[in-house]
Amino acid sequence: MSNPTAAMIVIGDEILSGRTRDSNMHHLAGQLTEAGIDLEEVRMIGDKRGTIIAAVQAMSAAYDYVFTSGGIGPTHDDITADCIAAAFGVPIDVRDDARAVLAEHYAKSGTELNAARLRMARIPDGAELIDNPVSAAPGFKLKNVHVMAGVPSVFTAMVASVLPTLTGGAPLISKTLRIERGEGDIAGPLGELAEAFPLLSMGSYPFQKDGKYGAHIVIRGNDTDQIDRALSQLEAAFS
């Protein structure tokens, strides 16, 4: 049985302009791998309504789980929630449960819950809230799409809230062998090994550091015994 599949949509002009370096994708990728969910595609797109809607529709249909980051704050360029509602053809408005979360949070600091902040309580009909222990304003889940914040500390906290609700598969096991030989010398034996173990995936990631060079060979799969056998055959070939 194969693992559930996932995709991520990173939303924000600041990522595409190079102003901000995204770190959410790398975090989510590691978490999903540990949970046995295969992240198969990531799209990074700008704050454009049509683009966001099209990506959400395409990826929601193609993958078991979809995760978005970015565009759910209080400013005019935060349009993700409205785009998600449009993508699924459901109404969106300030919702009482989300407003209550914000009201409680801002009351503590004596901050006014003004019109801009209330935008963060706009939740599409039928969505479940995602807990935000960092700054209160919730994410939400609609169908198979999990809508989360772009600020890394908040994104990370929301992923932690969401993970226990996902159904994972067999976690991918991964073992690495460091070989101090040129990739061109490793490629032949590695290719034969890959053919001999069709259920394993083998990757070669070259390095060059402190005057040494070579490659990290990563063998991935669901069966530890097979991975260990492949690893020792590879080791034997280069000893």
The residue among 10, 143, 1 whose CA lies nearest residue 72 is: 10
Which residue lies nearer to a copy of itself by CB, 220 or 229?
220
Q: Which whole-number Å values give the CA distances from 188 to 39, 179, 184, 202, 220, in the listed order?
A: 29, 14, 8, 13, 19
Asked whether the beta carbons of 213 and 181 are under 8 A apart, the reply is no
Q: Which of 116, 170, 196, 199 is close enough to bind a copy of itself by CB under 8 A?
A: 116
Q: Which of 73, 124, 138, 214 is close enough to bind a copy of itself by CB under 8 A?
A: 73
- Write the binding mask 155 to 194 for a copy of itself: x where contact by CB under 8 A, - elsewhere: -----------------x-x-------xxxxxxx-xx--x
Regarding 50 and contact with a copy of itself (CB under 8 A), the answer is no
Q: Which stretch binds a copy of itself (CB under 8 A): 87-95, 116-124, 162-170, 229-237?
A: 116-124
Regarding 205 and contact with a copy of itself (CB under 8 A), the answer is yes
Which residue lies nearer to a copy of itself by CB, 17 or 239?
17
SS3 assignment, position 70: coil
What sign for the dihedral angle of Cα 189, 190, 192, 197?
positive
Asked whether the beta carbons of 42 and 25 are under 8 A apart, the reply is yes
Q: Which of 57, 143, 203, 222 is close enough to bind a copy of itself by CB under 8 A?
A: 203
CA distance 93 to 147: 16
User: Which of positions 86-105 make contact with a copy of itself (CB under 8 A)?
Assistant: none
What sign for the dihedral angle of Cα 80, 86, 90, 91?
positive
Binding site for a copy of itself (CB under 8 A): 10, 12-23, 25-33, 38-47, 51, 73-77, 111-112, 114-117, 119, 151, 153, 172, 174, 182-188, 190-191, 194, 201-206, 208, 218, 220
